[in-house]
Amino acid sequence: MPPRGPRMLRPVLVPAAPPPLPPWLAAGYSPPRRTHVLGRGRDAGRRLHVVDAGPGASGAPLVWLQHGNPTWSFLWRRVLALLPDLRCVAPDLLGFGLSDKLPRASDHGLERHADALADLFDALDPARVVLVGQDWGGPLVCALGARRPERVAGLVLGNTSVLAPARPRGTAFHRFAATPVVSDLAFRGLGFPLGALHRAQGDPASIAGDVARAYRWPLRRRADRAGPLGLARMVPTRADHPSLPALRAGEAWARAFAGPAALVWGERDPILGRALARHREALPAAAVTTTAAGHFLQEEVPEAIAAAIRDVLARA
């Protein structure tokens, strides 16, 4: 049951103007945007920035596009351009993009972010939804699917890991993020890894110039940079890590999901390129598309993602 008291607000989608974009960014990124005010839980009253684009035919499933670390809904713009006939929703996580920021890295947790997304989901109240996730967006849409299983019509995953590790250690990157002081200096003080996204790409030129600047812009202030460190620390590095229960619940839902699914993978991803084999095994009925893209495959192969979404919709 939702908590009672003064922090309990009714979930509402506010059609008023969302936070503005600077002219250089708005010139190339102008999807329909709105604000959702969280109505329950510890984040009641905080605001989620949401891209809500496309007409959406009567009875057609909504397409939910979920970003991960350290990006925001801008990540999906090229996919959105290929799906103009579908209603697509791309929320910014708390602490990212134009959503309200969380002040501490410890404020970020898988359950907390999934609760906020479930609040938005209930306000939208879709009859059916195709869940699409990349990076942390994968575990988050699986956590959402586990919360609202009767509404999920399809699942598309790309360069993510929705499988809880049997021996949680994390990569060197994640172990570094768990190291006090030096990781705070790197992530919050120097803005890491926002300036190095191109290094995770198959084609480094795919994140350069104003595109790279657009990823940095929402977290340009040091006080707003808790999110990338918080999500890096959400990766399990020990057997009692707090992310593991929610990861296992999401994995169990994904493995049991009987609807149409697809995997779209960038094999030149230095972070999760090799995770495809495990996901093929876990989701043996999923259609698989492999590409030469890197981690942020939305910037390199948006056509492959859009095609997978349409294929899942057709099979749904």
Q: Which of 135, 198, 241, 279 is catalytic?
A: 135
In the chain, what's the furthest Cα-to-Cα distance?
A: 52
Phi, psi of 116 (to 5 degrees): -65, -40
Q: Which of 52, 115, 119, 269 is catalytic?
A: 269
Active site residue 85: no
Active site residue 184: no
- The CA-atom distances, in angstroms, between 55 and each of 28, 183, 185, 247, 257 are 21, 43, 44, 33, 28
Active site residue 269: yes
Phi, psi of 193 (to 5 degrees): -100, 20
Active site residue ranges: 135, 269, 295
